[in-house]
Amino acid sequence: MPAPTVVETKTIVVADDTAFVRDRFRSALESAGHRAITVASGSELLATLRAAAQVDLVVLDLRLPQARGVELHERLRTGRRGLFVPAYLVAAIAGVGHPALGWPDAGYIGVGARADLVTIALDTVRTAGCRPDSAVFAATAADVRRVMVDGREVVRDGHHLLVDDPARDLATAITAVLP
Protein backbone atom coordinates (compact mmCIF):
# COMPACT_ATOMS: atom_id res chain seq x y z
CA MET A 1 0.00 0.00 0.00
CA PRO A 2 1.53 3.36 -1.04
CA ALA A 3 2.17 6.01 1.58
CA PRO A 4 -0.34 8.88 1.61
CA THR A 5 0.71 11.98 -0.28
CA VAL A 6 1.48 14.92 1.97
CA VAL A 7 0.52 18.29 0.48
CA GLU A 8 2.35 21.35 1.71
CA THR A 9 -0.10 24.09 2.64
CA LYS A 10 0.10 27.07 0.29
CA THR A 11 -1.43 30.52 0.60
CA ILE A 12 -3.48 31.23 -2.51
CA VAL A 13 -5.24 34.49 -3.32
CA VAL A 14 -8.33 34.22 -5.53
CA ALA A 15 -9.19 37.53 -7.24
CA ASP A 16 -12.59 37.49 -8.93
CA ASP A 17 -15.53 39.88 -8.87
CA THR A 18 -18.08 37.04 -8.84
CA ALA A 19 -18.86 35.85 -5.30
CA PHE A 20 -19.88 32.38 -6.51
CA VAL A 21 -16.51 31.88 -8.23
CA ARG A 22 -14.59 33.09 -5.17
CA ASP A 23 -16.60 30.78 -2.89
CA ARG A 24 -16.07 27.74 -5.12
CA PHE A 25 -12.32 28.34 -5.31
CA ARG A 26 -12.11 28.91 -1.55
CA SER A 27 -14.00 25.69 -0.82
CA ALA A 28 -11.90 23.61 -3.20
CA LEU A 29 -8.59 25.06 -2.01
CA GLU A 30 -9.42 24.72 1.68
CA SER A 31 -10.62 21.13 1.11
CA ALA A 32 -7.21 20.42 -0.40
CA GLY A 33 -5.50 21.79 2.71
CA HIS A 34 -4.53 25.25 1.46
CA ARG A 35 -5.18 28.72 2.88
CA ALA A 36 -7.44 30.70 0.54
CA ILE A 37 -7.77 34.48 0.59
CA THR A 38 -10.45 35.96 -1.67
CA VAL A 39 -10.75 39.50 -3.03
CA ALA A 40 -13.27 41.12 -5.35
CA SER A 41 -11.29 43.90 -7.06
CA GLY A 42 -7.87 44.92 -8.27
CA SER A 43 -7.45 47.44 -5.45
CA GLU A 44 -8.27 44.75 -2.85
CA LEU A 45 -5.79 42.42 -4.52
CA LEU A 46 -2.98 44.98 -4.44
CA ALA A 47 -3.70 45.82 -0.79
CA THR A 48 -3.80 42.13 0.16
CA LEU A 49 -0.52 41.40 -1.58
CA ARG A 50 1.18 44.36 0.10
CA ALA A 51 -0.06 43.24 3.54
CA ALA A 52 0.46 39.48 3.21
CA ALA A 53 3.60 37.90 4.64
CA GLN A 54 3.69 35.32 1.87
CA VAL A 55 1.50 34.45 -1.10
CA ASP A 56 2.34 31.37 -3.12
CA LEU A 57 -0.15 31.78 -5.96
CA VAL A 58 -2.67 34.29 -7.32
CA VAL A 59 -5.68 33.04 -9.30
CA LEU A 60 -6.71 36.09 -11.32
CA ASP A 61 -9.87 36.97 -13.24
CA LEU A 62 -8.46 38.77 -16.29
CA ARG A 63 -11.46 41.13 -16.36
CA LEU A 64 -11.25 42.02 -12.68
CA PRO A 65 -12.80 45.42 -11.79
CA GLN A 66 -10.31 48.21 -11.09
CA ALA A 67 -7.65 46.34 -13.03
CA ARG A 68 -7.30 44.67 -16.38
CA GLY A 69 -5.40 41.44 -16.69
CA VAL A 70 -2.35 42.54 -18.62
CA GLU A 71 -2.03 45.89 -16.85
CA LEU A 72 -2.59 44.34 -13.40
CA HIS A 73 0.02 41.66 -14.03
CA GLU A 74 2.63 44.31 -14.78
CA ARG A 75 1.56 46.43 -11.79
CA LEU A 76 1.98 43.39 -9.54
CA ARG A 77 5.37 42.60 -11.06
CA THR A 78 6.84 46.10 -11.06
CA GLY A 79 4.73 48.22 -8.73
CA ARG A 80 4.14 50.70 -11.58
CA ARG A 81 1.27 51.23 -13.99
CA GLY A 82 1.20 52.17 -17.64
CA LEU A 83 4.17 50.08 -18.79
CA PHE A 84 2.65 49.05 -22.10
CA VAL A 85 2.56 51.12 -25.25
CA PRO A 86 -1.22 51.36 -25.71
CA ALA A 87 -1.01 51.18 -29.51
CA TYR A 88 0.51 47.68 -29.24
CA LEU A 89 -2.26 46.46 -26.95
CA VAL A 90 -4.99 47.97 -29.11
CA ALA A 91 -3.42 46.40 -32.20
CA ALA A 92 -3.28 43.03 -30.45
CA ILE A 93 -6.95 43.24 -29.49
CA ALA A 94 -8.42 44.88 -32.60
CA GLY A 95 -6.12 43.29 -35.16
CA VAL A 96 -7.64 39.85 -34.77
CA GLY A 97 -10.87 40.60 -32.89
CA HIS A 98 -12.77 42.69 -35.40
CA PRO A 99 -12.06 40.52 -38.47
CA ALA A 100 -13.04 37.45 -36.43
CA LEU A 101 -16.41 39.11 -35.80
CA GLY A 102 -16.87 39.77 -39.52
CA TRP A 103 -15.92 43.45 -39.27
CA PRO A 104 -12.70 43.85 -41.25
CA ASP A 105 -13.42 47.59 -41.55
CA ALA A 106 -13.26 48.14 -37.77
CA GLY A 107 -10.53 48.31 -35.16
CA TYR A 108 -8.67 51.28 -36.62
CA ILE A 109 -9.33 54.91 -37.50
CA GLY A 110 -9.26 55.58 -41.23
CA VAL A 111 -11.29 56.63 -44.25
CA GLY A 112 -14.22 54.23 -44.69
CA ALA A 113 -13.64 52.51 -41.33
CA ARG A 114 -16.40 52.21 -38.76
CA ALA A 115 -16.35 55.14 -36.34
CA ASP A 116 -16.57 53.51 -32.91
CA LEU A 117 -15.18 55.85 -30.27
CA VAL A 118 -15.22 55.81 -26.46
CA THR A 119 -14.21 58.59 -24.06
CA ILE A 120 -13.44 57.86 -20.42
CA ALA A 121 -12.96 60.02 -17.33
CA LEU A 122 -9.37 60.48 -16.25
CA ASP A 123 -10.21 61.64 -12.71
CA THR A 124 -11.67 58.51 -11.09
CA VAL A 125 -10.11 56.14 -8.55
CA ARG A 126 -9.36 53.68 -11.34
CA THR A 127 -7.83 56.12 -13.81
CA ALA A 128 -6.10 58.64 -11.52
CA GLY A 129 -2.39 58.72 -12.27
CA CYS A 130 -2.71 56.95 -15.62
CA ARG A 131 -1.30 58.47 -18.74
CA PRO A 132 -4.24 59.41 -21.00
CA ASP A 133 -3.09 56.94 -23.66
CA SER A 134 -3.10 54.02 -21.22
CA ALA A 135 -6.11 54.85 -19.00
CA VAL A 136 -8.32 52.55 -21.05
CA PHE A 137 -6.48 49.58 -19.54
CA ALA A 138 -7.40 50.63 -16.00
CA ALA A 139 -10.90 52.02 -16.66
CA THR A 140 -14.17 50.16 -16.16
CA ALA A 141 -17.69 50.80 -17.43
CA ALA A 142 -18.19 53.29 -14.58
CA ASP A 143 -15.54 55.53 -16.17
CA VAL A 144 -17.18 55.69 -19.62
CA ARG A 145 -18.45 59.17 -20.46
CA ARG A 146 -19.30 59.03 -24.17
CA VAL A 147 -19.63 56.27 -26.78
CA MET A 148 -20.19 56.57 -30.51
CA VAL A 149 -20.97 53.50 -32.63
CA ASP A 150 -20.81 53.79 -36.41
CA GLY A 151 -20.81 57.56 -35.92
CA ARG A 152 -23.97 57.56 -33.75
CA GLU A 153 -23.86 58.65 -30.09
CA VAL A 154 -25.15 55.89 -27.79
CA VAL A 155 -23.75 57.01 -24.41
CA ARG A 156 -23.62 60.61 -23.19
CA ASP A 157 -22.35 61.71 -19.77
CA GLY A 158 -22.19 58.07 -18.69
CA HIS A 159 -25.85 57.35 -19.51
CA HIS A 160 -26.96 54.95 -22.25
CA LEU A 161 -29.24 56.71 -24.73
CA LEU A 162 -30.73 53.58 -26.33
CA VAL A 163 -31.34 51.36 -23.29
CA ASP A 164 -33.32 52.70 -20.31
CA ASP A 165 -31.82 50.37 -17.69
CA PRO A 166 -28.76 48.49 -19.03
CA ALA A 167 -28.12 46.65 -15.73
CA ARG A 168 -31.69 45.35 -15.54
CA ASP A 169 -31.72 44.31 -19.20
CA LEU A 170 -28.37 42.54 -18.84
CA ALA A 171 -29.56 40.70 -15.72
CA THR A 172 -32.72 39.62 -17.57
CA ALA A 173 -30.68 38.36 -20.54
CA ILE A 174 -28.25 36.45 -18.32
CA THR A 175 -31.08 34.90 -16.29
CA ALA A 176 -32.73 33.73 -19.52
CA VAL A 177 -29.70 31.64 -20.52
CA LEU A 178 -28.64 30.28 -17.12
CA PRO A 179 -29.95 26.92 -15.97
Going from the C-alpha of 139 to that of each of 59, 64, 102, 106, 166, the distances in angstroms are 21, 11, 27, 22, 18
Q: How confident is the model at residue 145, as a pLDDT?
A: 93
Q: How confident is the model at residue 161, as a pLDDT?
A: 94
Q: How confident is the model at residue 36, as a pLDDT?
A: 92
The reply to whether 15 and 69 lie within a common domain is yes
Q: How confident is the model at residue 87, as a pLDDT?
A: 61
Q: How confident is the model at residue 156, as a pLDDT?
A: 94
The reply to whether 153 and 100 lie within a common domain is yes
Q: How confident is the model at residue 19, as a pLDDT?
A: 86
Our count of domains for the chain comes to 2
CATH assignment of the domain containing 26: 3.40.50.2300
* DSSP conformation letters of 29-93: HHHTT-EEEEESSHHHHHHHHHH-S---EEEE-TT-TTS-HHHHHHHHHHS-S--S-HHHHHHHH
The reply to whether 110 and 70 lie within a common domain is no
The reply to whether 94 and 51 lie within a common domain is no
Q: Is residue 70 part of a domain?
A: yes
Radius of gyration for the chain, computed over Cα atoms and rounded to the nearest angstrom: 20
Contact between 65 and 42 (Cβ < 8 Å): yes
Which positions of the chain have pLDDT values less than 70? 1-7, 62-73, 75, 81-101, 107-109, 115, 179
- 163-175 confidence digits (pLDDT tens): 988 888 888 887 8
Q: Is residue 148 part of a domain?
A: yes
Starting at the earlier edge strand, list the strands of the sheet with 11-15: 35-39, 11-15, 57-60
Q: How confident is the model at residue 171, as a pLDDT?
A: 82
Q: How confident is the model at residue 166, as a pLDDT?
A: 84
The reply to whether 125 and 151 lie within a common domain is yes
CATH assignment of the domain containing 148: 2.30.40.10
Domain containing 71 equals: 11-78
The reply to whether 112 and 138 lie within a common domain is yes
| Cβ atoms < 10 Å from Cβ of 29 | 20
The reply to whether 74 and 93 lie within a common domain is no
CA distance 56 to 75: 17
% of the chain with per-residue pLDDT over 70: 73
Q: Is residue 3 part of a domain?
A: no
The reply to whether 61 and 93 lie within a common domain is no
- pTM given for the model: 0.47
The reply to whether 20 and 70 lie within a common domain is yes
The reply to whether 58 and 113 lie within a common domain is no
